[in-house]
Amino acid sequence: MDRLDNTVRPYAWGSPTAIPHLLGTEPTGEPQAEMWMGAHPGAPSRTTRGTLAEVIDAGPERELGSRAVARFGPRLPFLLKILAAGAPLSLQVHPDLAQARQGYADEERRGVPVDAPHRNYKDANHKPELICALTEFDGLCGFRDPAEAAGLLAGLGVDSLEPYVDLLRAHPEDAALREVLTAVLSAEPREMARTVAEATTACTRLGGAYAPYADIAHHYPGDPGVLAAMLLNHVRLQPGEALFLGAGIPHAYLNGLGVEIMANSDNVLRCGLTPKHVDVPELLRIVRFEPSDPGVLRPEASPDGEEVYETPIDEFRLSRYVLPQAGSAHDFTRDTPQILLCTAGTVRAGEHELGPGQSVFVPADEKAEISGAGTVFRATVIV
């Protein structure tokens, strides 16, 4: 197995302290948002044999196993991350596989440069995600019941929000949500900025259930995404709890440290809380306008101590082991590729000793024994 040397991405929303605290290093004063583990071309992990992408390219079946290559092709189909949100990420949604293929083919046909700021589809893949909290973790996930959203907006006492309140109360659920989100994102910018400013003042004064939106507005003053966020469920994960984010579900991470795993894709359609491009017509085509429960996941334990976060897709499978004491070894050998990540304590993976934030890549069928006292996340695929 290969110890991984991983890149930390300095996105502006990242916490300057959470990842350094996990790794036991000194903060640099700059944001440290995501540590990537995998073979994504944007920042592949490094090994003594070259980058993980180069290692896999040199022998896909040897590294990934024949079944994974037959199912997903000669590439690692997932990206594992440690994510540290110190400020809200953009409010966003991801396409399903058919939508991604159609959107990518259309932009390729029209000659939209892949690095153009207005390009929506960087690739032809979908991007389901799973986030598992390492600390308390705040996020937004899926639409509230329209009547509940209407009550939240009405409670602000802002006159210019009354048309949205009426829409949410007067239409069937899917039509109500579609009309209000469309109206918010299509409003005249200066008028919307004034409405958001009034709503922000009210959120700050009221606190309680409004506090998350006051904080969002602090980071994105005047952004229509502040009102869009109030249409969504606010959820606070406790350590060990997770959210699965499937296609068409609007969501945003607000604050906290977690382990994230996703299918390899860069396809994001934004709804707000960002200075980046917002393609309203394409967004409305992708979003699933239906209220839903956030669906907090708790791991299902197996007899050998593996705690699995069940999801409906095959590109990744995330599980956790909490090893209570040093001594006994656990056999992690599989016929699929794995990344093992330590998040607490000290564990030994083969010849490698891992502390918090350290990880290894285990090729398919390679003997993998894990021992020690700590927490290990295992990322692999289902074939």
SS3 percent helix, strand, coil of the chain, rounded to 5, is 30, 30, 40
Q: Which residues pair with 139 in a beta bridge?
A: 235, 253
Write down the catalytic residue from 3, 46, 75, 270.
270
Helices (H) and strands (E) in the chain, counts: 12, 21
Residue pair 210/151 in contact (Cβ under 8 Å)? The answer is no
Q: What number of other Cβ atoms are within 10 A of residue 208's Cβ?
A: 8
Give the pairing type, strands 129-133 and 251-263: antiparallel
Residue pair 318/132 in contact (Cβ under 8 Å)? The answer is yes
- Say whether 238 sits in a helix, a strand or coil: coil
Burial class of residue 109 in the structure, from the number of CB atoms within 10 Å of its CB (0-12 exposed, 13-18 middle, 19+ buried)? exposed
Q: Known catalytic residue: 270?
A: yes
Contacts of 317 (CB under 8 A, 6+ apart): 308, 311, 379, 380, 381, 382
Task: Show which residues are catalytic.
Answer: 270
